Structure 1
Amino acid sequence: MSAPAEVPELVARALDLSRRRGFITSTRSETGRLLAALAASRTGTLAELGTGCGVGSAWLSSGAPKGAHIVTAELDPGLSKDVQGIFHDAENVEVTCGDWTVLEQYAPFSLLFVDVREVMASIDLLADLLEPGGIAVLDDFVPSPFWPPIVDGQVDTVREQWLTDERFAAVEMLIDPDASLIIATRR
């Protein structure tokens, strides 16, 4: 099955920045379309942890309803400035410069897209950033047919933790033969 060829204008601009910057780990279109669909069901504040070139935030913006606010933080000042340029006319997106913790001031989030593996391990901190019923989307997992999930010969404790934590109703979704993500809704 092939994905639709057209992508929203903001996504196209973010992908162009990714190509120019040599950033090869941008959000996949399959994940992006899921983010847009989930964002369409959300109100309040949505966030992306792991801005990169802004592809994930562009997908969130493309689906978010009027009045929803999207915040994202990029550690690299030069890249942050470039990403701010992409969203210069997007009233619903705010790009800040700093590590992900600068976004704590905007919590609680109705949707939180986490694209940084080290941050995913901080389940207690992330749980506290979500409103009740808030959704966390965690990206970049390698599918595993085993339980507990095994990757590179080791138990994937981050995935195991998110899928078994009683604070969440969580599911792992295969988005491509070589990639999966977790969707976790805060109870």
Structure 2
Amino acid sequence: MSRPAFLNLSPGLDRVGRLLTVEADPARAEAAWAVLQADPRARVQRGDWRDMLREGPFDLIFADCAAAKADPDALARALKPSGTLIMDNFSPPAFIPPDRHAGDPLRDALSTHPQLTCTELEVRRRERVLLAVRTA
């Protein structure tokens, strides 16, 4: 099992911040709770990622599952004004597979979304992270 993404976010929480992770897989939910249970700011919810949208609006959403990444409209609506959406695992344009040379539909959807201002950060030579801030 890979390192859970929430472990990269929890150290940055201030004392009044909250961390909610939603895990569809029961084993991942259990593993997440084992790590987070001592932190009163953290909560693990097992189920569909859409279930967490009722908890919003959010200052920050790190979308790490394919289904959530495929619905940027729902994620944008769940952000507070000036809230940030983070998505990882994007290839730099020079490394985009040939079947995607016409464009990356998700990258394009985020870059042209009417409620978001989007930028990319190179985190490794072959990986970029997209950051989108809700502006409307």
1:151 paired to 2:133: no
Deviations 1:104-128 (A, max 9, x none): 1211000000112332121111111
Deviations 1:3-48 (A, max 9, x none): xxxxxxxxxxxxxxxxxxxx24x4xxxxxxxxxxxxxxxxxxxxxx
Paired residue for 1:46?
A: none
| Count of matched residue pairs | 133
TM-score under structure 2 normalisation?
0.89
Label 1:152 to 1:99 Cα distance change in 2 as closer, same or farther (>3 A).
farther
TM-score under structure 1 normalisation?
0.66
The answer to which structure, 1 or 2, has the higher relative contact order (CA under 8 A, 6+ apart) is: 2
- RMSD, matched Cα: 1.6
Contact kept, 8 Å, 1:136 with 1:184, in 2: the verdict is yes
Structure 1 CA distance for aligned equivalents of residues 25 and 109 of structure 2: 30
Label 1:164 to 1:151 Cα distance change in 2 as closer, same or farther (>3 A).
farther
> How far off its partner does 1:136 sit?
0.2
Structure 2 CA distance for aligned equivalents of residues 89 and 63 of structure 1: 16
Of residues 68, 71, 81, the one that matches 2:17 is 68
Paired residue for 2:69?
A: 120
1:166 paired to 2:114: yes
Paired residue for 1:176?
A: 124
Query: Where do 5+ consecutive residues of structure 2 fail to align?
Result: none
Q: Following superposition of structure 1 onto structure 2, how do residues 28-177 of structure 1 map, counting pairs within 5 Å? A: 55-145=4-94, 150-154=96-100, 155-177=103-125
Runs of 4+ in 1 over 2 A off after TM superposition: 150-153
Contact kept, 8 Å, 1:135 with 1:186, in 2: the verdict is yes
Structure 2 CA distance for aligned equivalents of residues 74 and 152 of structure 1: 32
Query: Where do 5+ consecutive residues of structure 1 fail to align?
Result: 1-22, 27-54
Question: How much identity, in percent, do the aligned residues show?
Answer: 26
Structure 2 CA distance for aligned equivalents of residues 109 and 178 of structure 1: 29
Structure 1 CA distance for aligned equivalents of residues 65 and 31 of structure 2: 20
